Homo-oligomer: A and B are copies of this chain.
Amino acid sequence: DLASKDEYPALGEEDKLWVRIRQEARWDSVKEPVLASYLYSSILSHGSLERALAFHLGNKLSSSTLLSTQLFSLIIDTFMEDDGIRRAVREDIKAVKGRDPACNSYSHCLLNFKGFLACQTHRVAHRLWNQGRQSLALALQSRVSEVFHVDIHPAAKIGSGILFDHATGLVVGETAIIGNNVSILHHVTLGGTGALGGDRHPKIGDGVLIGAGAIILGNVKIGEGAKIGAGSLVLINVPPRTMAVGNPAHLVGGKDSPAQLK
Binding site for B on A (CB under 8 A): 28, 31-32, 34-35, 37-38, 41-42, 59-60, 62-66, 68, 70, 74, 101-102, 104, 108, 111-114, 133-136, 138-139, 141-142, 145-149, 151, 153, 166, 168-169, 171, 173-174, 185-187, 189, 191-192, 194-197, 200, 209, 212-213, 215, 217, 229-231, 233, 245-248
Contacts and interface: CB of A to CB of B under 8 A. Distances in A.
A70 B39 CA distance: 14
Given A148-B146, A151-B166, A191-B212, A112 B141 contact: yes
Nearest to A189: B212
Given A31-B135, A191-B230, 14 more contacts: A34-B74, A37-B65, A38-B139, A60-B63, A64-B68, A145-B166, A146-B147, A169-B169, A187-B189, A187-B213, A194-B209, A215-B231, A217-B230, A231-B247
Nearest to A195: B101
Given A32-B136, A134-B104, A189-B230, A145 B213 contact: no
Contacts of A148: 146
Contacts of A245: 248
A245 B247 CA distance: 9
Copies per complex?
3
A65 B74 contact: no
A60 B64 CA distance: 8
A151 to B, nearest CB: 5
Contacts of A38: 65-66, 139
Given A187-B187, A187-B213, A212-B191, A168 B196 contact: no
Contacts of A196: 101
A155 B113 CA distance: 17
Contacts of A153: 102
A104 to B, nearest CB: 7
Which of A37, A185, A194, A247 lies at the interface centre, i.e. has the most chain B CB atoms within 10 A of its CB?
A247
A217 B230 CA distance: 9
A186 B173 CA distance: 13
Nearest to A113: B142
